[in-house]
Structure 1
């Protein structure tokens, strides 16, 4: 899974530096973050490429045991802005679902009221009314 780490990191920095995220990522920090995700036990990843072979999108997450079933935490997913709204995000989710046919519960975190939130809801995700996200400075 680490074969495309550098390409994933470049794409990550590019995508998340733009609105609505406007985050500042140093390439080395993005590389470390994605490396950690890709080397997590039971990690799964997939990506799409353009005609030139360049990575245009990727998704990374991992299975977690919860009682007698496995859940899947989708940790990161991004598609290059020039390739958005062409079905690549849906393809990434489909590819992961094919890797995880026995996983029935998926979850993720994303920005509230963002295009990403609308995308995930259109893909069948819904807000978790029984859970809340708490942060500590």
Structure 2
């Protein structure tokens, strides 16, 4: 059974660093939303409103970013990767029950196990807290 690891969290929470460490240990591909779509988004939003970090105006294309990210994820799995690690904020997505239900149905239909981690910065000796769900979906 192939595995999907979603690493979610706000900017600066440590999600990318955690995902990179996990990719080094598993040898699975890492898809980082910012790496994959950042230059494209900046190229599209700067001519419209002049702000390369725009994430709130109507010009922002968030939905398309996530569609692209997940399309590449599914393609990697389709062509035989045993697992894939995907890191992005997923803030709006994971609070949208329709999005979550559809994603879980896709995972089940494709016989994939899903693991999720939320990275949050909290004052501590390590500075990074990772919260994992108690259940695995699709296994």
Normalised by the length of structure 2, the TM-score is 0.35
- Greater relative contact order (CA < 8 Å, ≥ 6 in sequence): 2
Q: Comparing both structures, which one devotes a greater share of its residues to helix? A: 2
Q: Which has the larger radius of gyration?
A: 2
TM-score normalized by the length of structure 1 = 0.35
